[in-house]
């Protein structure tokens, strides 16, 4: 889920369309709307955001500080006609990168991934047991072999891998994959996609690597023994 902030609907709508072609959920705000949203949104909604893109808006240099109070996701400023003074001011305000438009969404995705690598010392892939998930659009390796997946299922598996070791609620998964404001899709679609993904992974691995506990959510596990250990910890045994 990417958030685009710009006073021009043509800009936010254009980027939303391009992200959609890459299978990435996004939402657009003007500066005032965004400031209100980031200050009052539920924690799960904010944590579902993978990156913030700040275009032209009156209070742009104030927004990174507001974002940092709620999220550590990458913040990238998009400039139409940047100057050295503007660029330095943006970096001083706390953005992670400044990019001159026009810029392809694939470049933005690469920059976001690079920022995360530096911040988290993360490699180009995440390995969870026999599952290797890539963050460059490639299908995962499962049991040493490529497993082709539909776009939504691949995005879900990537989100599980990014958050390995953490339980994710249905709402968090939905917000990350479909976006916070997609009223045309029911949240229950997550269960259908996860069911299909679990079935494919179970057939390849011989066990279910997506462990689910009622009221707690889903978690990607590396082995059946990890699932058992997690259950013992959650019951305090």
State pLDDT tens for residues 102-155.
Answer: 899 889 988 888 887 776 655 577 889 899 998 877 899 999 999 999 988 998
pLDDT-derived band at 175 (thresholds 50, 70, 90) equals confident
Give the pLDDT confidence of 60-89 residue by residue, as tens digits: 999 999 999 988 899 999 998 878 899 999
SS3 134: strand
- pLDDT of residue 185 exceeding 70, the answer is no
CA distances 27 to 52, 147, 212, Å, are 10, 30, 29
Confidence at residue 237, expressed as pLDDT on a 0 to 100 scale: 37
Confidence at residue 8, expressed as pLDDT on a 0 to 100 scale: 93
Q: Give Cα 218 to chain centroid, integer Å.
A: 16
Confidence at residue 116, expressed as pLDDT on a 0 to 100 scale: 77
Q: Name the more confident of 50 and 131.
A: 131
The structural domains of the chain, ordered by start, are: 2-120 (3.40.50.2300), 125-235 (1.10.10.10)
Question: Would you say 108 and 76 are in contact if contact means Cβ atoms under 8 Å apart?
Answer: yes
Per-residue HEC secondary structure of 72-130 comes to CCCEEEEECCCCHHHHHHHHHHCCCEEEECCCCHHHHHHHHHHHHHHHHCCCCEEEECC
The model carries a pTM of: 0.58
**What value does the mean pLDDT take over residues 91-109?**
91
Sequence-separated (6 or more) residues with CB below 8 Å from residue 227: 211, 221
Burial class (CB in 10 A: 0-12, 13-18, 19+), 24: buried
The H-assigned helical ranges of the chain are: 9-21, 31-40, 43-47, 63-68, 84-93, 105-120, 151-162, 170-178, 189-205, 224-235
Across 105-109, 201-205, 223-227, 233-237, the highest mean pLDDT is recorded for: 201-205
Confidence at residue 196, expressed as pLDDT on a 0 to 100 scale: 94
What is the C-alpha to C-alpha distance for residues 208 and 85, in angstroms, rounded to an integer? Answer: 54
Q: Name the more confident of 215 and 151.
A: 151
- pLDDT of residue 229 exceeding 80, the answer is no
């Amino acid at each position: 889920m990417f958030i685009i902030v710009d006073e021009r609907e043509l800009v936010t709508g254009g980027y939303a369309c391009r992200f959609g072609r890459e299978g990435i959920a996004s939402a657009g705000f003007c500066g005032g709307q965004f400031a209100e949203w980031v200050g009052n949104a539920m924690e799960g909604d904010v944590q579902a955001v993978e990156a913030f893109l700040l275009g032209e808006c009156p209070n742009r240099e104030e927004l990174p500080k507001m974002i940092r109070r709620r999220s550590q996701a990458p913040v990238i400023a998009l400039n139409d006609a940047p100057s050295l003074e503007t660029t330095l001011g943006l970096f001083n305000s706390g953005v992670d990168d400044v990019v001159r438009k026009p810029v392809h969404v694939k470049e933005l995705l690469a920059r976001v991934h690079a920022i995360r690598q530096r911040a988290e010392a993360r490699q180009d892939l995440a390995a969870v047991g026999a599952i290797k998930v890539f963050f460059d659009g490639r299908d995962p390796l499962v049991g040493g072999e490529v497993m082709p997946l539909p776009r939504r299922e691949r995005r879900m598996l990537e989100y599980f891998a990014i958050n390995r070791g953490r339980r994710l609620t249905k709402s968090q998964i939905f917000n990350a994959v479909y976006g916070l404001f997609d009223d045309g899709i029911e949240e229950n679609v997550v269960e259908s996609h996860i069911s299909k993904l679990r079935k494919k992974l179970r057939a390849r691995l011989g066990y279910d690597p997506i462990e689910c506990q009622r009221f707690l959510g889903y978690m990607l596990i590396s082995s059946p023994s990890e699932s058992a250990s997690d259950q013992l910890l959650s019951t305090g045994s």
